[in-house]
Amino acid sequence: MGDVVEFVNVNGFPHNVQFDPAHIPQGALPFLMRAMATKMAPNLPASPMMTRPNEVYRINFAGAPVGTYNYFCLPHQALGMKGVLTVAQ
C-alpha cells in the first residue's frame, strides 16, 4: 500500500512500463501523462526503456482516479509480460 509504485528492471534486458489507454479508468490518461515524469513519447503513457540491472522507474499515484490500470512491457508484450495495478480510496 502506498502512493508510489516502483517498477524494477532486475535483469538488465530492455523493459518499460506502458499503460493501455483503452484499459484504464475514465479520466486517468491526463493523470498518467502528468504523473509519468519521463516518457517514451510526449503523448504516450509509457516509460522510457530501462536497460540497466536494478534500474527503477517510479510513478506517484497519489490522487489517481480509482480503478484498475492495465500495463505491459512493450518489448515483451507478446510474451505475456503485463500486469494490473489497482487504485482504491
Active site residue 40: no
Q: Please give the pLDDT value at position 1.
A: 57
User: Which residue from 19, 17, 13, 24 is spatially nearest to 47, judged by alpha carbons?
Assistant: 17
Active site residue 23: no
Average the pLDDT over 10-26 and give the result.
94
User: Which residue from 29, 46, 27, 30 is spatially nearest to 38, judged by alpha carbons?
Assistant: 46
Task: Indicate if the pLDDT at residue 61 is higher than 80.
Answer: yes
- Which of 1, 15, 23, 36 is the catalytic position? 15
Active site residue 73: yes
Residue 28 in grid coordinates: 486517468
Q: Please give the pLDDT value at position 2.
A: 72
pTM of this prediction?
0.90
- Which of 23, 33, 40, 76 is the catalytic position? 76
Residue 27 in grid coordinates: 479520466
What count of other Cβ atoms lies within 10 Å of the Cβ of residue 36?
21
Q: Which residue has the higher pLDDT, 70 or 37?
A: 70
Q: Please give the pLDDT value at position 23.
A: 95
State percent of the chain over pLDDT 90: 87
Asked whether the beta carbons of 67 and 38 are under 8 A apart, the reply is no
